Amino acid sequence: MGTKSPLVVKPKTGSKVYHQISPESAQWEYLSFEAREMSKDETWEWNTQENEMVIVLLSGNFRVESEKGNWETLNGRKDVFSGVAHTLYLPRHTKFTLKATSDSLDIAYGWCKADEDFPAKFVTPEKTPVVIFGGDNATRQFNDLVPPGFGCHSIVVREVYTPSGNWSSFPAHKHDERILAEDGTVLEPIQEETYFYKFQKPEAYAIQQVYTKDRSLDEIARPRHNDVVMIPRGFHPVVAEHGFHCYYLNFLAGTDQCLANTTDPDHEWIYDSWTSKDKRLPLVTAEMNK
């Protein structure tokens, strides 16, 4: 009988807030993450305090009112496989009220400490950069919700679609030590990361490895729908079960607002081996949003 990976967080049953990950619970320094379901007209009030926050619409519609601005989604996707996210960035010291305007609402949000202020920003699906990355059976789709250069302190957010049977977060990479080039360019930051998974069918799953070169950390996880895999350090490749497309939402926070990383040296050659792109991609587009 298999044992549960300590890096996998299962969703809470019977709770509106079905994920709550904090630096204390994760035993790391920077990143907090939650996921929340709401019913129509239900409200949620929050104060970002010393943190910057990003709210990602998974399904449904909402309206947000704050002293930094008001925003409303009108074409929220019915699920993550039916369109692209709406993304709301809120700076520190922002009090807001979020109201569900659809029969049901599913949102995920992450936050981290910030030491400067940036403008609030609302990014709609048609304004979200979409990238088809990789090749062969390691091709996947990135929706860059809060990419490097977004205009924030250190948080990065991306949703990733991996077709059935494909590898993702591959070649394996890490971001757990800060390495600078001679000119000060960040070659690798220290970043903590959450992988929040969703699938179209309850029997679907992915397989994710989290390992360090010295194997002081070496875990194999099997995340299912609504599971979170925490990445405190190490390399962390993913493969989607054959027959089921895989979605995961990444939040990253740490020393730098970037996506620089270090590839497992055993995998460097793979970048030059790809000869084609998976024609099933993109799996979702902004035109699909209802």
Structural domain includes residue 217: yes
Find the mean pLDDT for residues 118-144: 98
Structural domain includes residue 177: yes
Is residue 2's pLDDT more than 50? no
Is residue 3's pLDDT more than 70? no
Q: Residue 4: which pLDDT band, with cuts at 50, 70 and 90?
A: low
CA distances from 72 to 23, 39, 100, 173, 213 (A): 30, 16, 10, 37, 46
Output the domain CATH number for residue 178. Answer: 2.60.120.10
- Mean per-residue pLDDT over the chain, rounded: 97
Q: 46: which strand partners?
A: 96
Find the mean pLDDT for residues 121-139: 98
Strands of the sheet with 69-72, listed across from one edge:
43-47, 95-100, 62-66, 69-72
Tokens of 140: 């996947």
Can you give the residue range of the structural domain that contains 226?
Answer: 13-276
Is residue 1's pLDDT more than 70? no
Quick one: pLDDT at residue 281?
A: 98
**pTM for the structure as a whole:** 0.97
Q: 160: which strand partners?
A: 142, 248
Rounded Cα distance, 230 and 21, in Å: 9
Is residue 266's pLDDT more than 60? yes
Structural domain includes residue 1: no
Quick one: pLDDT at residue 142?
A: 98
Say which residues have a Cβ less than 8 Å from residue 158's Cβ, sequence separation at least 6.
142, 143, 144, 145, 146, 147, 249, 250, 259
Specify the number of domains making up the chain. Answer: 1
Is residue 269's pLDDT more than 70? yes
Q: Quick: pLDDT tens for 210-223.
A: 999 999 999 999 99
125: Cα within 13 Å, side-chain hemisphere: 20
- For residue 59, give the H/E element and its range: strand 51-59
Radius of gyration for the chain, computed over Cα atoms and rounded to the nearest angstrom: 18
Structural domain includes residue 288: no
Q: Quick: pLDDT tens for 133-168.
A: 999 999 999 999 999 999 999 999 999 999 999 999
Structural domain includes residue 287: no
Q: ∠ CA(136), CA(149), CA(128), 5° rounding?
A: 60
Q: Quick: pLDDT tens for 82-98.
A: 999 999 999 999 999 99
Structural domain includes residue 281: no
Structural domain includes residue 184: yes
DSSP 39: E
Q: Residue 6: which pLDDT band, with cuts at 50, 70 and 90?
A: confident
Structural domain includes residue 283: no
Collapsing DSSP to helix, strand or coil, 269 comes out as helix
Is residue 73's pLDDT more than 50? yes
